[in-house]
Chain A
Amino acid sequence: MSVNESSRTPTTNGEIQGGGKSVHEQMRHDHLITSKQLSRADIETVLDHAAEIDADRSAFADRHADKLLGLLFFEPSTRTKMSFETAMKRLGGDIVDMGAVESSSVTKGETLADTVRVIEGYTDALVLRHPKQGAATMAGEFVDVPLLNAGDGAGHHPTQTLLDLYTIRENAGLDDLTIGIMGDLKYGRTVHSLAYALSNFDTRQHFISPESLQLPREVVYDLHQEQERVQIREHESIEEVLPSLDVLYVTRIQRERFPDENEYQQVAGKYQIDTEALETARDELTVMHPLPRVDEIAPAVDTTDHAAYFEQAHNGVPVRMALLDLLLRDGGETDE
């Protein structure tokens, strides 16, 4: 699961189940760059561990008392950054934060490759968010401590995916799942990461978006590589597919993707969910959103049984605790 191999050679379940290295050993000291590198067994290990932590957080309170996590956020973040910070502190560890780009050495023209090599020397693991696609892949080539990708431009956001999967598993289960993913599918990195990860499970994936914001051909190409397991359909309208869904994953359509306000309003209006729209949905439908939302989910939906997006955001802590715990275990330590 090294960085370059990971983008092309997913770990195989057979290797993990066949008595070779345990998934804990494989994940230890490793980078998490893209959800593509995660096998079904990897995902289940993280989610099971997150459930364990969720059930009794105090048991993990001083697990990493001597460890420091470096936060390198070259783009604004609230949830991702704060939940990493919370997760590390709940494990007994601490964080060091580069702070805003404006007050860092980046303004002096330092390369990312240099920055990560410097901060690596201060910390036991790194979390990186960067506006450029492939930034985490490249940074991972320069450091030995575990590096977690917290978003690289329009690329990947695998820790968001793991908390999304955790939420889906808690609410609807991950196999025999019919999921609709709606909104900005072109630039939405959470969408790409989620679609890849779901291809490890028996899922029917419906992608609902305006034509101009359909999935990039790179993502479709990869999903078609998994064709035997995954069924993919693309739609322009939610109505035809909503009644069949177990999960509806809504993302924000950004104003800046459209040339003018009128066009934005016309398009975005078709991809909004309110209680009236949900009348045709199954009672068990789970509605998710990576947040922040603007107006794509009406506030009235918040109090329905469908709404799982705040729970989803809260799940960021146990899932990131689980990931950090798995990645920060000492080299000589055996699985407990």
Chain B
Amino acid sequence: MSNDHDHHDGNDDHELRVSKIRDGTVIDHVNGGQALNVLAILGIDGSKGEEVSVGMNVPSDRLARKDIVKVEGRELSQDEVDVLSLIAPDATINIVRNYEVIEKHRVERPDAVTGVLSCPNPGCITTAGEPVTSKFEVLDDAVRCVYCETIVRDEIPSLIDT
């Protein structure tokens, strides 16, 4: 339950913003300001009735400011969360059942991500209305379009396919 430790400081405002969940997934230690991108990557926009709590720019020991995302009723698989490593390399994932954290793990950089990012190269075939899903190879400090081979280092959040 370490994800909640930062907030058990008697500050009701924090409690209100980032409440405990019963069953689901808590994504903690997300880089400050990236919570909405986390939701975008996971394809969660609330339109299907998902119960989601988001804390943004919360003071943290490990990161100066961090975001927290809590998704009720959905246990995210390792494949799903590994994609988050692109924008939140320090994120920790807590799987919660009946208010207890039953699983806790870090995100790991995948070899490739499919269908999550859009290629920024207007000359790339994946931006030309073809029936093809984007695919990026994950490098040490960047991602690379498998089709046009464009390398993107710093602007990865802006490529998230929403």
Contact = CB atoms under 8 A, between A and B. Distances in A.
Indicate the member of A113, A138, A155, A218 with the most B CB atoms within 10 Å.
A138
A218 B125 contact: no
A200 interface: no
A281 B37 CA distance: 57
Interface of A: 4, 7-8, 111-113, 130-135, 137-138, 141, 152-155, 217-218, 221
Interface magnitude class on chain B = 20 to 34
A132 B125 contact: yes
Contact of B151 (A4, A111, A130, A218): A218
Contact of A131 (B123, B129, B150): B123
Nearest to B129: A111
B125 A134 contact: yes
A299 B126 CA distance: 42
B5 to A, nearest CB: 42
Contacts of B150: 133, 218
Interface string B118-162: 000101111011111001010000001111111100000000000
Interface in B32-56: none
B149 A111 contact: no
Contact residues of A: prevailing secondary structure = mixed
Nearest to B151: A218
23 contacts: A4-B135, A4-B146, A111-B129, A111-B131, A112-B125, A112-B128, A113-B131, A131-B123, A132-B148, A133-B123, A133-B150, A134-B125, A134-B147, A134-B149, A137-B125, A137-B147, A138-B125, A138-B130, A154-B123, A217-B151, A218-B150, A218-B151, A221-B151
B123 A153 contact: yes
Nearest to A141: B132
Q: Which 7 A-B pairs have the closest CB atoms?
A: A134-B147, A133-B148, A134-B148, A132-B125, A134-B125, A135-B125, A138-B125
B142 to A, nearest CB: 9
A155 B149 contact: yes
B137 A134 contact: no
A131 B137 CA distance: 23
Given A132-B125, A138-B132, A155 B146 contact: no
A133 B126 CA distance: 9
A133 B147 contact: yes
Indicate the member of A132, A134, A138, A218 with the most B CB atoms within 10 Å.
A134
Contacts of A134: 124-126, 145-149
Given A111-B130, A130-B125, 15 more contacts: A4-B135, A8-B137, A112-B125, A113-B131, A134-B124, A134-B145, A134-B148, A138-B125, A138-B126, A138-B130, A138-B147, A141-B132, A153-B148, A218-B144, A218-B151
Nearest to B132: A138
A123 B131 CA distance: 23
